[in-house]
């Protein structure tokens, strides 16, 4: 069950979102702006706990963020609590590649007025801040750029793409295979522990703000298309707490700094 008052307070919303397309837009944008994507727990050796109580203690009570399985699990609690018809999916991250990897990303398909929309608050890359209509291949303009969804005949998947100066960039792809809670538990464990996933050895943060998205990859902080390489532990902690608004346990920032200070600054 969703702790509604705590969720509304964290998101800065005055009331639950109505289960309309406008309500879904407001809810998705509000969570993306309020709760950052971050993978400090996997980086520091902990598998995130997806139990709803533990999840809300961390994201709503402790002032932390999370990665896709946490952020979209919390989002799903709100969707279902407030009457949205929502179906979870497991996606394959592409990040520009012609094919995806393992199923290590969670998002939602929400049905509203005989249309289906992709709703996602947990992708650490340049995710759409607005739901994307799935039954069209038309370009869809948002505050963060233009997106589209298309069918990939080779893999029989739906691909989510963002338009860039270099062309269309594939973010991730998915099919409509049925998924169960145990699938998310397994994917969460794999993402946190597997050397083939980026979260065990690299730090990634992302937060959507009214003036644009900010991000951090290890020591490389990006804002307004400018990249700043952080070279001191105290500056690193300040970025985490002031730019991304995280509340951290004592020595957590220092422990993370020791893990990533010699890691690559480009993906």
Supply the pLDDT for residue 211: 87
| Alpha carbon distance 256, 261 (integer Å) | 8
* Helix 68-81, helix 181-193: angle, nearest 10: 150
pLDDT at residue 63 in the model: 97
Catalytic choice (3, 19, 41, 120): 120
Domain ranges of the chain: 4-36+67-181
pLDDT averaged over 10-residue windows placed end to end, the chain, 267 residues: 97 96 98 98 98 98 98 98 97 96 97 97 95 97 96 97 97 96 98 96 96 96 95 98 97 98 92
Helix locations, 133-220, DSSP H? 181-193
Q: What pLDDT does residue 214 have?
A: 97
Q: Angle, to 10 degrees, between the axis of helix 68-81 and the axis of helix 4-11?
A: 120
| Residue spans of beta strands (DSSP E) within 60-180 | 85-93, 103-112, 115-119, 132-133, 140-142, 145-152, 157-164, 167-174
If we measure between CA atoms, which residue out of 96, 108, 153, 155 comes closest to residue 132? Answer: 108
Q: Would you say 163 and 153 are in contact if contact means Cβ atoms under 8 Å apart?
A: no
Residue 119 contacts by C-beta under 8 Å, 6 or more apart in sequence? 24, 28, 75, 79, 86, 107, 108, 109, 110, 131
> For residues 230, 217, 32 and 194, what is the CA-based torsion angle, rounded to 10 degrees?
-140
- Mention every residue, 6+ apart, whose C-beta is less than 8 A from residue 227: 220, 221
At 132 the pLDDT is: 98
**Which segments of 82-208 does DSSP mark as H helices, in order?**
181-193
Question: Rounded to an integer, what distance in angstroms lies between the CA atom of residue 222 and that of residue 239?
Answer: 11
CA distance 253 to 234: 9
Residue 73, sorted as left (phi over 0), alpha (psi -120 to 50) or beta, turns out to be: alpha
Q: Which one is catalytic: 105, 115, 153, 262? A: 105
For residue 113, indicate whether it is catalytic.
Answer: no
> Is 175 a known active-site residue?
no
Closest C-alpha to 110, from 140, 130, 137: 130
Verdict on whether the full-model pTM lies above 0.85? yes
Report the C-alpha gap between 13 and 87 in whole angstroms.
24
Q: Is 38:67 a contact under the CB 8 Å cutoff? A: yes
Radius of gyration over every alpha carbon of the chain, rounded to an integer in angstroms: 18
User: What is the CATH number assigned to the segment(s) 4-36+67-181?
Assistant: 3.30.2140.20
Q: Which of 53, 68, 151, 224 is catalytic?
A: 68
Which is it for the CA torsion 110, 111, 113, 115, positive or negative? positive
């Amino acid at each position: 069950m969703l702790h509604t008052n705590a969720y509304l307070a964290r998101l800065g919303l005055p009331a639950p979102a109505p289960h309309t397309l406008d309500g879904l837009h407001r809810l998705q944008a509000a969570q993306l702006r309020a709760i950052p994507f971050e993978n400090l727990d996997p980086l520091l050796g902990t598998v995130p706990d997806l139990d709803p109580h533990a999840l809300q203690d961390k994201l709503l009570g402790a002032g932390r963020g999370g990665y896709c399985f946490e952020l979209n699990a919390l989002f799903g609690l709100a969707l279902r609590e407030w009457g949205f018809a929502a179906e979870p999916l497991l996606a394959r991250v592409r990040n520009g590649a012609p094919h995806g990897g393992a199923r290590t990303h969670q998002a939602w398909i929400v049905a509203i007025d005989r249309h289906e929309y992709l709703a996602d608050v947990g992708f650490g890359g340049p995710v759409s801040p607005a739901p994307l209509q799935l039954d069209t291949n038309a370009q869809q303009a948002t505050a963060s750029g233009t997106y589209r969804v298309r069918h990939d005949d080779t893999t029989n998947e739906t691909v989510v793409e963002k338009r860039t100066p270099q062309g269309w960039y594939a973010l991730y792809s998915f099919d409509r295979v049925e998924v169960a809670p145990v699938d998310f538990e397994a994917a969460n464990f794999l993402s946190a522990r597997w050397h083939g996933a980026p979260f065990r050895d690299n730090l990634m943060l992302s937060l959507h703000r009214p003036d644009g998205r900010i991000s951090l990859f290890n020591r490389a902080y990006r804002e307004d298309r400018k990249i700043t390489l952080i070279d001191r532990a105290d500056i690193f902690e300040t970025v985490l707490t002031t730019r991304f608004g995280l509340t951290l346990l004592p020595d957590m920032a220092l422990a993370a700094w020791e893990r990533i200070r010699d890691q690559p600054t480009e993906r």
